[in-house]
Copies of this chain bind each other. A is one copy, B any other.
Amino acid sequence: MNIAIIGLGLIGGSIAKDLSSQLNVHVIGVDLNELHQKQALELGLVHRLMDLDEAISACKIIIIAVPVDKIEQLLPTVLTKIDDDVTAIDVGSTKAEICRIISNHPKRNRFVASHPLAGTEFSGTMAALKGLFQGKKNIICESEKTDVDALEISLKIFESLGLTTSFMSAEEHDKHLAYVSHLSHVSSFMLGLTVLDIEQDEKQIFELAGTGFASTVRLAKSNPKTWSAIFDKNKTYVLEALDSYILHLQHFRDHIAAQDTSATEQLMARSNEIKRILK
């Protein structure tokens, strides 16, 4: 079976790495970046490289793993070019706008809108990891608009990567991810920036950084291009989550300013409930 993977960064490269080690799978890599092409071959992520049109002709499965703004540009073209028995799967971190853009496409039924919930703060082909998806969750949105055979083959592929799939609407996906993933990234990026900015006056400040800071700011190492696209494509819910976060911070700030320690203590005690979720 030939599988094309378009975009050989962290996610596409990791999918390629796992699939290329499976029997009877021939992985075709597509990437405009020549360095990524070279690295993908050297790391053995893909069996060969092709350009987009060649790959579309050669494969019944096309996995699109480019940044979410690029998915929007690429997906309609891919759907237009594929035959009726080809399945196109995207693995982007936002879903509503992507689904909206191809909602009236004549080949909408060949498309599987998915999001494997995995990643690291690193990016690029060299960051590809074997087993990245093992034990993780995958979301498929609007499955009712996808042909059963396309859905079935996608589920098999995700299962072979170690993912367990659940189903929800694209809006529900985007709202939830805004809170449990995208907001964490904004929070971390801006924490990094706040401390870097004060560092201009206080040179040795990082001498004192401990493991707590490291953990909270880890996501600030993530790829800016990937994340500017995600925040933009999930603007409505990211803003909703971020505004709520800013309000919570301001509220807490005011209690500190008023030296109301019983109020800050109470709010933190409520936040402690997060232990229930993070075992």
Residues of A within 8 A of B (CB): 69, 117-119, 121, 136-137, 139, 166, 175-177, 179-181, 183-198, 202, 204-210, 212-222, 224-225, 227-229, 231-232, 235, 238-239, 241-246, 248-250, 252-253, 256-257, 259, 261-262, 264-275, 277-278
Contact = CB atoms under 8 A, between A and B. Distances in A.
Given A194-B244, A212-B218, 13 more contacts: A121-B212, A176-B204, A179-B194, A179-B205, A180-B206, A189-B252, A190-B252, A212-B219, A221-B272, A229-B261, A232-B264, A245-B249, A246-B253
Contact of A227 (B194, B221, B268): B268
Given A181-B210, A243-B253, A269 B194 contact: no
A232 B256 contact: yes
Given A180-B195, A274-B192, A246 B244 contact: no
Given A187-B187, A195-B183, A206 B256 contact: no
12 contacts: A118-B210, A175-B202, A181-B208, A184-B213, A193-B270, A195-B274, A216-B216, A220-B271, A221-B272, A224-B266, A225-B265, A235-B257
Contact of A196 (B194, B206, B216, B270): B270
B264 A231 contact: yes
A212 B238 contact: no
Contacts of A275: 221
Q: Which of the listed residues A117, A121, A192, A269 has the most CB atoms from chain B within 10 Å of its own CB?
A: A192
A214 B249 contact: no
A121 to B, nearest CB: 8
A184 B219 CA distance: 13
A41 B196 CA distance: 44
A262 to B, nearest CB: 8
Contacts of A136: 210
Contacts of A217: 184, 274, 278
